[in-house]
Structure 1
């Protein structure tokens, strides 16, 4: 959804985020709110447009792929400059891609795992060599793995790049005050600076949606990101505010620790709890939940129940969705717990984000699970801190979610591959790994649909990542804000935004 009105030059725009972003380093970052900040300061080789189609951004055209699928070539812009004054060229792309793939703790490692080599074949020409055909690569390069970083800043700051980020973008980093604000200013070196109207963009984490809405109404902020259904209902009757919405390509659910004993990227170990060691207990927990009722009670019926990772917007979605989500089955859950021979109530801790919406979700899950023989205690945490805890394996279950990608591999591989870059669950299953690998190399859409249908069934049978619902992307802005764009990837794009003429 886009506002087509023209904006005047000048001014500061304040965007209220649902949480504080994690590291401002595309190689290491994991959060959607972080991606929203990156959208203003770190352009990618490719981007998605309003229709979800891939378009060049720092690359000059869509990539050329060899007949055997193992060589990918493209050129990059000759007029782009990083915020620190360094020129963008093919060598900078090579340096960034290798860093994304290889740096310790990289969240991009699984996405770029099939990349065997990257080289500059000319001043602005890049060749990627793959270990095997890798169908998702172009869409991977349209997210953080495709963000090109200043090689000068990489060399100077190393892992401290997060405090000195330098990319190509309409705005450049000025300062960050943890928990309070991230400030970006217009970058006059940007190749399309004439299209940028604002002098400055400030991102403020405001976890409580009611407070975000109050700040919108008072004019202290001009854009509210990730607004919840409760606030959206109120906005619809406010003549000073405008609602932007788009379907999400991601999912929200509950992740269960089944093997994360040493942290991300490590070989799965043994979690000696009823929930962690016995799939029947996990299945019983899932049977205790009513997805439709959760949507109605917590989200005013404005989201959609979900029971798999593949986005309905994906081209292969019709061939993957074999049936509706299962209904709640309390008696079936009790029977499974009896078969498992566990002492009831089964006690475990459920870690959630400390927002009112997530706490409400936790309370509903707590109540439903109690009926089947579970005693769930809630552990609300600030979102970035929650990620640190869950990545390290210090949890029983947590509210797990992902903003989503058009290619199904982007919703699956990093999370469910054994030792995947974001596999916080400690899941390790050879059959799942095999299906993920096949899905990555298969080019035929019909065959891919069959693979991902089987993969979805296999993942769901593990009951390790329990898919619950798909959000809609709700963004609220003041009526005087023009040029704002919100697409299906959930990002708030402010390059062309500003105050209406």
Structure 2
């Protein structure tokens, strides 16, 4: 039974959220006390004989990718496109398990954990016709380590040397054991690039990327589309059904849904919770959904970038203020109302269904707006505290941002919401040109990729400026341990420490929601959020 105070709080939240929806001109929010169970549907499969040969599949992409360079990219949407043309040493399967891709089996690791040998495929060619071998793998890994603009260095760990033992064997030695290495090679750090193309293109590689894959890059029209075409050099070409794939940029969720309904696109990512129930009722449209390894959260500038005005503020400098902001947000109520119960609250960078999840990583700060306000008063803050929050300009993100804006007023915050185009928001993040911003992370199978890179000083995604010795030691020790239970315990302690610092305030986890027309099959969406189209194709008329 809910007490009188609890009833008043819930009523205030509902009133606030309803007002936000009406003011924003959005679909009215629907309150769900207990969201229904929604089991994962990760793949739409068909027998190989059911596919037609050829055709151009169009996918509606919810945001424009950044540069198509595996070494420097930081966008989930870039991974969508790269998935079809830049294969990795390893991949993840529908169960989140790491499986060989361009490698032939999982690495051989010495007992001390400092030497790793990776066997790679023979008889494989890049899209430019040159040979794929261990020397090419070495070139890619060293670029990830040494390129000044690399976003991969922290993911690759404390590498001492990289050696091509022969054409089919790569050896990597480490100064210290580095458990997340294989998982890193199941993402962009493991996308192997043509050494010839790297030599010819240099820093411009992302304008004309060349890798190993079922498809190869053809053209890009900025802010409009990216097209890839079937690569005749691909070693497993018999499994490729399509002639080409066009990724059409459609940032408006309503437009993506309309194009799926009309059949003008065959696949659309990031379907809005406002649209998905209606789409599910329509004939000829299918839906894929999978839980996410990632999160959405608030990133606080604590000292990153060249403009002190962005971080020399109570929010950036006082942990009490950041804790107050975290306490002021009722994650469950906001998620259930704004997203119709499709998403779930997040309290750390480790998903609850990860094998590394513990009670410590699942623990969440109590919602306590009165306590939050008291913290601000104890810190000597003049109320209301004005904060500028940059967000992407998508409908769902704006709905949530406006709900946070309204719901935190009770605790003494006055948050202004500044919408931006997604790539502009990424640029602002990377330059430290923000006080507070709302962005997410699609997630990695190893917690190192969700925590270390954001919270270790100098790491590629540490855009907050956080530098905490206790947290750094926990994250380093977790990466060096080869015992999964020890690593889980260390990541739990790290999650607790992050919850004290609040450089990132975790809010919710999306489901990966993808719609498709039922004249296509061979599509997968796993927990890393990437829509797999490499073996997609149109179905024969009698198979639809």
| Pairing partner for 1:484 from 486, 510, 523 | 523
| Pairing partner for 2:167 from 105, 123, 146 | 123
Instruction: Report what 1:306 is aligned to.
Output: 346
| Pairing partner for 1:386 from 414, 425, 428 | 425
Note the C-alpha offset of 1:262.
Answer: 4.0
Q: Which moved more, 1:389-398 or 1:314-323?
A: 314-323
Q: Deviations over 1:328-361 (max 9, x none)?
A: 2111011011111111111111110110111111
SS of the aligned residue for 1:351 comes to: strand
SS of the aligned residue for 2:303 comes to: coil
Instruction: Report what 1:417 is aligned to.
Output: 456
Q: Deviations over 1:393-419 (max 9, x none)?
A: 110111121111111111111111011
Contact preservation (8 Å) 1:149, 1:167: yes
Instruction: Report what 1:345 is aligned to.
Output: 384
Contact preservation (8 Å) 2:241, 2:536: yes
Instruction: Return the TM-score normalized by structure 1.
Output: 0.97
| Pairing partner for 2:299 from 252, 255, 278 | 255
Q: Give runs of aligned pairs for residues 212-223 of structure 1, distance below 5 A.
A: 212-223=256-267
Asked if 1:94 corresponds to 2:138, the answer is yes
C-alpha distance in 1, partners of 2:237/2:478?
40
Instruction: Report what 2:51 is aligned to.
Output: 7
Q: Deviations over 1:183-222 (max 9, x none)?
A: 0000010001111000010011211111100011111111
Asked if 1:495 corresponds to 2:534, the answer is yes
Which consecutive residues of structure 2, in runs of 5 or more, have no partner in the other structure? 1-41
| Pairing partner for 2:186 from 134, 142, 152 | 142
**Alignment RMSD:** 1.4
C-alpha distance in 2, partners of 1:129/1:392?
33
Contact preservation (8 Å) 2:311, 2:435: no
Q: Which moved more, 1:143-152 or 1:294-303?
A: 294-303
Note the C-alpha offset of 1:322.
Answer: 5.4
Q: Deviations over 1:18-57 (max 9, x none)?
A: 1000110000001111111111010000011112111110
Asked if 1:44 corresponds to 2:88, the answer is yes
SS of the aligned residue for 2:370 comes to: helix
Instruction: Report what 2:335 is aligned to.
Output: 295
Instruction: Report what 1:446 is aligned to.
Output: 485
Asked if 1:315 corresponds to 2:355, the answer is yes
Note the C-alpha offset of 1:259.
Answer: 1.2
Contact preservation (8 Å) 1:7, 1:483: no
Note the C-alpha offset of 1:491.
Answer: 1.1
| Pairing partner for 1:331 from 370, 379, 389 | 370
Q: Give runs of aligned pairs for residues 55-70 of structure 1, distance below 5 A.
A: 55-70=99-114
Asked if 1:77 corresponds to 2:95, the answer is no
Instruction: Report what 1:180 is aligned to.
Output: 224
Note the C-alpha offset of 1:321.
Answer: 3.8
C-alpha distance in 1, partners of 2:356/2:312?
38
Alpha carbons of structure 1 residues 288 and 97: separation in structure 2 relative to 1, 3 Å? same
**Matched residue count:** 496
C-alpha distance in 2, partners of 1:200/1:292?
42
Note the C-alpha offset of 1:487.
Answer: 1.4
Alpha carbons of structure 1 residues 337 and 232: separation in structure 2 relative to 1, 3 Å? same
Contact preservation (8 Å) 2:310, 2:435: no
Contact preservation (8 Å) 1:260, 1:269: no
Note the C-alpha offset of 1:269.
Answer: 11
C-alpha distance in 2, partners of 1:135/1:39?
24
Which consecutive residues of structure 1, in runs of 5 or more, have no partner in the other structure? none
Contact preservation (8 Å) 2:310, 2:433: no
Q: Give runs of aligned pairs for residues 368-379 of structure 1, distance below 5 A.
A: 368-379=407-418
Contact preservation (8 Å) 1:179, 1:205: yes
Contact preservation (8 Å) 2:347, 2:362: no
Asked if 1:225 corresponds to 2:265, the answer is no
Instruction: Report what 2:3 is aligned to.
Output: none
SS of the aligned residue for 1:190 comes to: coil
Note the C-alpha offset of 1:312.
Answer: 2.3
C-alpha distance in 1, partners of 2:134/2:221?
34
C-alpha distance in 1, partners of 2:158/2:274?
43
Note the C-alpha offset of 1:274.
Answer: 1.0
Alpha carbons of structure 1 residues 292 and 441: separation in structure 2 relative to 1, 3 Å? same
Contact preservation (8 Å) 1:305, 1:470: yes
Contact preservation (8 Å) 1:261, 1:269: no
Contact preservation (8 Å) 1:19, 1:383: yes
Contact preservation (8 Å) 2:358, 2:489: no
Contact preservation (8 Å) 1:222, 1:481: yes
C-alpha distance in 2, partners of 1:408/1:269?
32
Note the C-alpha offset of 1:320.
Answer: 4.2
C-alpha distance in 2, partners of 1:150/1:332?
56
Instruction: Report what 2:240 is aligned to.
Output: 196
